[in-house]
Amino acid sequence: MEENYILQNLLRQKIIAIVRGVRKEQIQKTADAIIKGGISCLEIAIDHTSPESVEQTYEMIRCLKETFAAGICLGAGTVLSGQEVKACVEAGAEYIISPNKNPDVIRKTKEAGKISIPGALTPTEMTEAWEAGADIVKLFPAGILGLDYIKAVRGPLKHIPVSAVGGVTPGNCRDFIEAGCSSIGVGGNLVDLKKIELGDYDSLTKTALDYVRNLQRQIRM
């Protein structure tokens, strides 16, 4: 029941904010600013720089879960192993996002009753990820692949929900939905590390609002 609710929430909201490179002491203000802008689905990407940075990512997920509770739809990103799936779920992650289609990651995610969003590039990879149990397939890098590629792939694979990630801006975000993507993921274009360092969290809220407004505008005829 909860698993289906999270999936429907992701598909309904259509946008996941990818939080990468944000320090632990900045994470609450960053999340708060994004949520104020109307985006409550956040992916906290694992920093694999060191074992300590990996553990710190788990701590940030746990912190956000405790702080925002039902006000946030929280996921973990750049998850590369079944062991990391377990740790992220224990910290409070409700969906698991990967840059690849590791079958063990997909399997462990589904065994934990969570939403699986592995990454893929080609139709073959998309199909294999879907057959392995993915709920949504992340198409990356969507901006480089382009809308024509997405439209072509969506033709025979329209039964597979796709999330466009990479190069998605407030100005083009609606284009990816119109091309057939069920959702989008946005990182640096929203979670601007320079502005966070300056303490300019209001700009994150403004950018989040821009994404939400453009996604909600009426589809062009």
Minimal CA–CA distance to 166: which of 137, 136, 151, 146?
146
Degrees to nearest 5, angle at CA 135 with 192 and 47: 35
Amino acid at 214: N
Q: How far is CA 52 from CA 56, 57, 217, in A?
A: 6, 9, 43
43, 101, 108, 114: the active-site residue? 43
Task: Tell me how far apart the alpha carbons of residues 110 and 113 are, in angstroms, rounded to a whole number.
Answer: 5
3, 29, 138, 158: the active-site residue? 138
Task: Tell me how far apart the alpha carbons of residues 101 and 169 are, in angstroms, rounded to a whole number.
Answer: 25
Task: Tell me how far apart the alpha carbons of residues 97 and 112 are, in angstroms, rounded to a whole number.
Answer: 14
Catalytic annotation present for 111: no
Minimal CA–CA distance to 98: which of 113, 114, 90?
114
Catalytic annotation present for 128: no
Catalytic residue set: 43, 138
